[in-house]
Chain A
Amino acid sequence: MADTWSKFIEYLQIPFVRYALIVGVLIALCASLLGVTLVLKRFSFIGDGLSHVAFGAISVATVIGLSNDTLFTMGVTVLCAILILGGSRYTKIKGDASVAMISVSALAMGYLLMNVFPTSGNVSGDVCSTLFGSALILTLSKEDVILCIAVSVVVVLLFLFFYNKLFAVTFDGDFARATGTKADIYNLIIAAIIAVIVVLAMNLVGSLLISALVVFPAMSAMRVFKSFRSVTICSAVISVLCALTGMVIAIVAGTPVGSTIVVTDIAVFVIFSIAGKITGRTV
C-alpha cells in the first residue's frame, strides 16, 4: 500500500499527470451540473449524440488540416446541440429520434472521411482513442489545460447565473413562457453549454462514455436527495470525487482512464441506490 502511495506521489511530480487531474475534475464538475435537467427532459443520450457529432467534426478538421480543431469542433457541436434541443418544440422529429439521427450521421461520415482520407497510418487507433478517450487525457498540452480551465469557469458561472431560470424552464416550460420567462433562450443556453462540455469531456472519457459523466452523478444524487438544490450540489460533489478516484486508480493501476471513471460512477450509483432504499427516501 505504502508502495502504491509513493508511486502515486511520484506520478504527481509529472506535469501531465497534474494537468490530467485538473482537467478531469473540472470536466466532471461541469458535466454533472446539467445532468438533472437533461435526465428529466429525456435527453440522457444527448451527451452520446453530441460527442459523435464532435467526432465527425474532428475528422473533418483533421482531413482538411485545420490547426485549431477544438474551436471548430466546438462550433459545429454547439450548432447541432441547438438543432436538437432548441428546435425540439418546433420540428416534427423529436427527442431521441433527432439525437439518434444526427449523431449516427456524424459518426458514420466522420469514420468514412477518416478512412477515405487517412492522415495517419493508424486509423483504427485514432478512432479508438476518440471513442474511449484512452491515453488522450495524459497528453494534454498547457494550452489545452488553460482552455479547459477558462471554459469550465465560464460554464460554472453561467450555470450559477441562470440556475433559477433553468429550474423554472425545466420544471414547467409552458408556465415559464406564459409568465414572461424567455424559455427558448434558456433552452439554447442549455444546448450550448452541454455541447461545450461534451467537446471538453471527449478528452477525458472519450465519446462513448460521456453520457456516464452527465447521467450517473445526477441519478445517484436523485436516489437520496429531494430538492433541486441539494440534488445539484450532491451530483457535483459525487462527480468530482468519482473523477478523482477514477483517475488515481487509473494512473496507479494502469487501467484506461475513461472506463475507470465510469466504473467508479456506477459503483457510487449502486451505493446511493441502496442508501436510498434503506433510508426509505426513494419513491
Chain B
Amino acid sequence: MALLKCTDLTLGYENIVLTEHLDFEVNAGEYWCITGENGTGKSTFMKTILGLRKPLAGTISYGDGLEKNKIGYLPQQTQLQKDFPASVTEVVISGFQGKTGLRPFYTKEEKAGALKNMERLGIEDLSKRCYRELSGGQQQRVLLARALCATGKILLLDEPVTGLDPKATEELYELIKKLNREDKITIIMITHDVEAPRKYATHVMNFGEKITKEEISSGRYMV
C-alpha cells in the first residue's frame, strides 16, 4: 500500500485551475522532487497534501500507517518567525503540539524526543540559543527537527534551501539525504534547484509542463 495516493486531483483556487488530472502514488522511502515555474501550483499541491486546502476535485488517500496529521512539514519561513523570541528547544518541541490534544504541557517522552531530534540534526548545542539569531542554515535545521517531531514517516519541504549559501545548501541536502537513506523517511521536496533532483531524487514531478510544451511549440522559446 502506498503512503500517499492521489487520484485524479485538480488543484487551484476558486475559479483558477492550476493542475488537472494528477494521478500518482508515493511509496515509503522514495525521494520526490517537485519542480516547475512559480505559479504552477507547487505550493498549493503541498498545502493540499497537508490538508490546509481542499482539492477542487479528486482525492488524496493516506496509507501504510500514515495519518493526515503525522506529516512533517518544513514551510517557507515567514517574516514573523524572524522576529519571534523563541529558544531552539521551544521551537523544536512545538512539533509535538498536534499530538497533545487538550493536554496543556509536554510529557517527559516528548521532551526526550525533541532532544533526540536535535541530536539527529546536530543542533543539540544550540538548544538554549535564540532562534532568530541563528544563521539561515541553522534555522532550517531547527525547523527540520521540529518537523521530525511531528512525523517518523514523511517530510514535505517547501524550497528548503532558499536564501542559503552554497555550503549550507549542500549540508542541508546531505542531511535530508541521510534522513531519507538511513532513517527511511519519505521526502517530497519543492525546489528551484536544478542539481538536487538529478543528484538525490528517485522521482521528479515537473509542474506546468503542459504550458512549457505549448510555449516551445509556439516558437517562443528556442530549445
Contact partners of B120 in chain A: CB under 8 A: none
- B85 at interface by CB-CB < 8 Å: yes
Chain A interface bracket (under 10, 10 to 19, 20 to 34, 35 or more)? 20 to 34
Chain B residues with Cβ below 8 Å from A160 are 104
The answer on a CB contact under 8 Å between A175 and B86 is: no
CA distance A230 to B85 in the complex (A): 9
Min distance, Cβ A190 to any Cβ of chain B, angstroms: 14
Residues of A with C-beta under 8 A to B146: 175
- The reply to whether B71 and A179 form a contact with Cβ atoms under 8 Å apart is yes
- Chain B contacts for A164, CB-based, 8 A: 94, 97, 100, 104-106
Most buried by A among B75, B80, B95, B97: B97
**B-side interface size class:** 35 or more
User: How many interface contacts (CB-CB < 8 Å) are there between A and B?
Assistant: 100
B104 touches A227 (CB 8 A): no
Are B85 and A178 in contact (CB-based, < 8 A)? no
| A42 to B94 Cα, complex, angstroms | 21
Are A171 and B86 also in contact (CB < 8 A) when A165-B97, A181-B98 are? yes
Judged by a CB distance under 8 angstroms, whether B221 is at the interface is no
* CA gap between A9 and B45 in the complex, in Å: 67
Tell me the complex Cα distance, A163–B105, Å.
Answer: 8
State the CA gap A165–B96 with chains docked (Å): 10
Alpha-carbon separation in the docked complex, A178 to B97 (Å): 11
Question: Measured between alpha carbons, how far is A218 from B90 in the docked complex, in Å?
Answer: 18
B91 near A179 with CB under 8 A, answer: no
The A interface, classified by DSSP as helix, strand, loop or mixed, is helix
Contact B86 A228 (CB under 8 A): yes
Q: Closest approach, in angstroms, between the C-beta of A71 and any C-beta of chain B?
A: 28
Query: What is the chain A residue whose CB lies nearest that of B87?
Result: A227
- CB distance A178 to B71 under 8 Å? yes
**A180 contacts B85, CB within 8 Å?**
no
In the bound complex, what is the Cα–Cα distance between A221 and B69 (angstroms)?
35
Q: Collect the chain A residues with CB atoms within 8 Å of residue B78's CB.
A: 172
Give the contacting residue for A225; candidates B80, B85, B94, B106; CB below 8 A.
B85
Question: Are A178 and B73 in contact (CB-based, < 8 A)?
Answer: yes
Question: When A164-B104, A164-B105, A177-B52 are in contact, do A171 and B84 touch as well, CB less than 8 Å?
Answer: yes
CB-defined interface of B62-83 with A at 8 Å, one 1/0 digit per residue? 0000001111110100101101
List residues of chain B with CB within 8 A of the CB of A168.
Answer: 94, 97
Specify the chain A residue showing the minimal Cβ separation from B89: A227
Contacts of B122 in A (CB 8 A): none
Task: For the complex of A and B, list the 7 residue pairs with the smallest distance between their C-beta atoms, beginning with the closest.
Answer: A180-B69, A180-B98, A179-B98, A226-B130, A227-B87, A178-B50, A168-B97
**Residue ranges of B at the interface with A (Cβ–Cβ < 8 Å):** 47, 50-52, 68-73, 75, 78, 80-81, 83-87, 90-91, 94-95, 97-100, 104-106, 128-130, 132-133, 146-147, 150
Can you report 13 A-B residue pairs in the complex whose CB atoms are below 8 A from each other? A40-B83, A161-B104, A165-B100, A171-B86, A172-B81, A174-B52, A179-B95, A180-B68, A222-B85, A225-B85, A226-B133, A227-B128, A228-B84
